[in-house]
Structure 1
Amino acid sequence: MILPQSTNLTLFSPEDINDSLGALFFDTGISAGFPSPTEDFKEQRLSLDRELIKNKEATFFARVSGQSMIGAGLNDNDLLVIDRSLEPENNKIAVCFLDGEFTVKRLRVQKDEVWLQPENPDYPIINITAENNFIIWGIVTNVIKKV
């Protein structure tokens, strides 16, 4: 199911999670140093839905559009996993609805003030005021990247 879209994010909800499916998973880890003997590998099934989604009804996916969060490892076209059931906290990365647009930024909360901080020095920090139409839509829990 595709949800409303703005110029910054397209939101998707997860499909039904089928417990019988999953990709092959080698539980020994893949060496980034010296190769490991192949007889050490144990083959299992792994469902990324079960690994990445803790609350299906409150979880959505969105593609990143833009470069404002590259310092946090969120690049253009990455796929975000967003959980709307999590409480927003200082320093969390959140998807926010700000003045008619979705945006993803790091939350900075101090006393009664909220800022949206990009992770790219080319973008300004946004101070949220009473004049803004502002909602913290969900908290980013994972990012899926293409290599």
Structure 2
Amino acid sequence: MLLHQSNALTFFTPEILEDSGATFFDTGISCGFPSPAEDFKENRISLDRELIKNKEATFFAKVSGQSMIGAGLEDSDLLVIDRSLEPANNKIAVCFLDGEFTVKRLKVDATGVWLQPENPDYPVIKITDANDFVIWGIVTNVIKKV
């Protein structure tokens, strides 16, 4: 379900299905030659259960832009965001800054808070008292299309 759209992120609430899950082969998948003698142990895995620890505080957001490509977050990637986690130095966070949502790496020390992009083409943002600023949630996972 679409929750909110901004220039940088589009937010969705997760819909957890009780009987969801895809087939999971618990053997590892070789990138070399397959072993014909390997027995495949087949289970079911739910990405909801794997990626969402706190259902009420978790949201998805689709990335728009290139400011975090160095951290592996690319345009159209789907972020899993947990609002119940405490912000901390070096975490990747979704922040509300001066009327817009953005995703950046938090840099926190005794002198202040900075939002650090992971692309040298984008500036570091120093948070000041003049900013309307809220750390909205912490990115826990990224889902990519290949």
Shared fold, TM over 0.5 = yes
CA distance in 2, matches of 1:138, 1:37: 45
Match of 1:91 in 2: 90
How far residue 34 of structure 1 moved from its aligned partner, in angstroms, is 2.8
RMSD: 1.1
C-alpha contact (below 8 Å) 2:16/2:48 kept by paired residues: no
Equivalence for 1:15: 15
Structure 2: how far apart are the matches of 1:141 and 1:38? 37
Percent identity between the aligned chains?
79
Counterpart-to-counterpart distance in 1, 2:41 and 2:35? 13
Matched, 1:122 2:124: no
Q: Which residue in the other structure is 1:30 paired with?
A: 29
SS at match of 2:4: strand
Say if 1:37 and 1:73 are closer, same or farther in 2 by CA, change over 3 A. same
Letter of the 2:133 partner, please give it: F
TM-score by length of 1: 0.95
1:63 aligned counterpart, secondary structure: strand
Q: Which runs of 5+ in 2 are unaligned?
A: none
Q: Where does residue 3 of structure 2 map in the other structure?
A: 3
1:80 Cα deviation from its structure 2 partner: 0.2
Task: Provide the C-alpha distance between the structure 1 equivalents of 2:83 and 2:37, rounded to a whole number of angstroms.
Answer: 41
Distance 1:39 1:63 in 2: 38
| Partner AA of 1:17 in structure 2 | L
**C-alpha separation between the residues in 1 aligned to 2:36 and 2:130?**
62
Deviation of the 1:16 alpha carbon: 3.0
Aligned residue pair count: 146
TM-score normalised by structure 2 residue count: 0.96
- Give the 3 Å change call, closer, same or farther, for CA 37–7 of structure 1 in structure 2: same
Alignment match, 1:142: 141
Q: Please tell me the residue identity of whatever aligns with 1:6.
A: S
In the alignment, what sits opposite 1:76?
75
Deviation at 1:38, TM superposition (A): 6.1
Aligned position for 1:58:
57
What is the rounded CA distance, in whole Å, between the counterparts of 1:50 and 1:95 in structure 2?
22
1:102 aligns with 2:101: yes
Shift of 1:111: 1.1
Structure-2 change in CA distance of 1:97 and 1:38 (3 Å): farther
**1:47 Cα deviation (Å)?**
0.4
Letter of the aligned partner of 1:34 in structure 2?
Answer: F
CA contact under 8 A between 2:65 and 2:75: conserved in structure 1?
yes
Q: Aligned with 1:34: secondary structure?
A: coil
